[in-house]
């Protein structure tokens, strides 16, 4: 009985690490949407630019740290069946992953089009495409990987 309670406790902690990682990745990616407000130019808002850059990197690193804690908890809890490849290289492993995989493809295509072919688009559209691409890439890796499979399947 105690073993089951301990496993449930580890799963609960792991679920917390999973969601903290997603929230951190979202905040990190969302700072991209605010980049227009800050500028490193002499007449721009340099302080805001540094705050946004610091926030981006801080939450990106926190997301990775939460993910690594989750990964370590999974490895300690169970000898998980070997999955071919890493989450980065696998696509459409489940419905949520499929949604973010499609968003990733749309985001990359939008960036390629907006940066190379249609340069007259407003900057905010390019920032939105960048946000979609960065966040969906992070979610692609999280949702197609071993940790998601261990937690939810």
Is residue 114 within 8 Å of residue 133, measured between CB atoms? no
pLDDT tens-place string over residues 105-121: 999 999 898 888 887 87
Q: What is the pTM of this model?
A: 0.88
Alpha carbon 4 to its chain's center: 31
Give the residue-averaged pLDDT of 49-69: 96
Alpha-carbon distance 6 to 41, whole Å? 54
pLDDT of residue 144: 92
pLDDT digits 0-9 by tens, 33-47: 999 888 878 887 889
Domain count, the chain: 1
- E-strand stretches of 21-137: none
> Whole-number mean pLDDT of the chain?
88
Domain assignment of residue 73, given as a range: 2-152
């Amino acid at each position: 009985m105690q073993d089951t309670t301990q496993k449930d406790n580890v799963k609960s902690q792991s679920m917390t690490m999973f969601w903290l990682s997603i929230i951190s990745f979202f905040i990190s990616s969302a700072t991209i949407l605010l980049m227009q407000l800050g500028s490193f130019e002499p007449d721009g808002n340099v302080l805001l630019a540094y705050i946004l850059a610091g926030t981006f990197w801080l939450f990106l690193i926190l997301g990775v740290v939460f993910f690594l804690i989750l990964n370590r908890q999974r490895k300690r809890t169970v000898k998980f069946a070997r999955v071919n490849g890493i989450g980065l290289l696998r696509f459409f492993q489940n419905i949520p992953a499929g949604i973010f995989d499609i968003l990733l493809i749309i985001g990359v295509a939008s960036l390629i089009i907006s940066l190379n072919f249609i340069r007259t688009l407003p900057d905010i559209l390019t920032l939105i495409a960048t946000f979609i691409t960065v966040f969906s890439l992070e979610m692609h890796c999280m949702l197609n990987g071993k940790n998601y499979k261990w937690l939810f399947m």
